Amino acid sequence: MEKTMNHVPHWVLVLFVALLVIGLRQSRTHVASRGRLLVMPLIMAALSLNALIRLFGADAWACLFWVGALVAPIVVRRRFSACVDAVYLEQERKFRIAGSWIPLGLMMAIFALRFAATMVAHMRLVEGGGVALGFALGFGVLSGAFVARSILIFGKAYGRRDSLSDMAGAIDAPRPFDH
22-62 tens-digit pLDDT: 999 999 999 999 999 999 899 989 999 999 999 888 889 99
User: What 3 state SS string does the chain have?
Assistant: CHHHHHCCCHHHHHHHHHHHHHHHHHCCCEEEEHHHHHHHHHHHHHHHHHHHHHHHCCCHHHHHHHHHHHHHHHHCHHHHHHHCCEEEECCCCEEEECCCCHHHHHHHHHHHHHHHHHHHHHHCCCCCHHHHHHHHHHHHHHHHHHHHHHHHHHHHHHCCCCCHHHHHHHHCCCCCCCC
Q: What is the pTM of this model?
A: 0.80
Instruction: Give pLDDT tens digits for 104-137.
Output: 999 999 999 999 998 888 777 666 668 889 999 9
Please give the mean pLDDT across all residues of the chain: 84
